[in-house]
Structure 1
């Protein structure tokens, strides 16, 4: 029995080896290297010089652009995440009803999530909202002349990027749709017997039963929101006047435009800390609004 168990373990480790190698080589080692470089002055050309916490002091005490990128990223996350989840949930509720062409509509609404983060779509989005784009032409047709495009105006540029993020609601929608199908129909039958109307039924039955899924989607979307890069880089390159300068785009600039690798590594770990704090806060608050059936019996 022991020899058979040893043989099974060897087979298991052999099958696990490719993933384990990739995890160590592509994630674990770079993570520790990044942490080390965050305490150094390093520009890819010279030998790293250990400087302690100077990079972190510089971030919080001297770097005004850091605070601008934080402001933009927080604005993006706080506006995008609720709107995307609300939109995804609304569409999921509609698609949960039986009607013809349901499979087509599910696929149609999911496609933006597959291609939405690509360079090509960002370029198309830039053309649509640019000076010669469709949006400007439509506004001109209605007699609304604009000197600046929506992307050229610091007050509206971030809104365009947020709108693109909302458009990519497909993955959240599918998760909501799967959760909706798991809600026991007997609950709705009881509500109908009691004469409950659709709106109270949604808020009293559907929404509470979906809170674990809402929580799951919320965590994913918050993490992805803080990592916004492609849209900000391709569509506006952080402009105008840094009004769309996301945190990751600023980190990228410090790394590959200024070759300030030690400083950019420190920025990366600050971002990890920010995402970690948000995640912990969300987990701490879940007991106040997330309903788990397994806890009801305790």
Structure 2
């Protein structure tokens, strides 16, 4: 009988802060970044959940746990749970979301809800002040502090992505380049589609038509064209401009499809070349030739 090895490399992010500061949206951003997300987990269950995640048969690398204030025992249970994670050598970070009183008051009025520590005998702002006072210890312990008072959803998503990925431009993004033939249809998973059917076609060269774009002679035939050189240069510039913005949006994957008529010659050459350029700039890039053996 084999024993499942515990995955101590799994990273836990505790998403907490003021009610109304945007935790639900932030959690959705983390989900888009590939996190396994759990909402409103009781603090006492965090250590047990960490064990389940670390010993899971499915690959779980990063987990987001949304923790809201709930009653007087909240902090005792939460700090005990964090201490248990420390003892078990799990890696975790606390992301604290906040907003000023005016922003929270406006949001509560728009949703017609009360803060968790408010009741019929208190005002909304008194409930906000009570929660802010109660959360001070947790705020002081946070690894990341994000003020959402004036942030748009797009700006908040960018801030969260920056906090998680830091300065690693390409660490959070996987780029896949797919060569294909238009005669077999556009790859449905493509985010960006490039049409290279205007480039010189080796198919009409008797000595080259039976080889693919992986062949050195075919590659030289396509690459010696000035049109090809200009197109690669401009396309690479466009992608290198685009990718940091894709990362800032919190996306984890981008699929670039490069198409020629049959997916056998030109698209293969261009896909390999674009992969080479993006890899040189530090991006994690893979190439797939969907139709290289078709027809």
> TM-score band, normalised by the shorter chain?
under 0.3
Structure with bigger strand share is: 2
Structure with bigger helix share is: 1
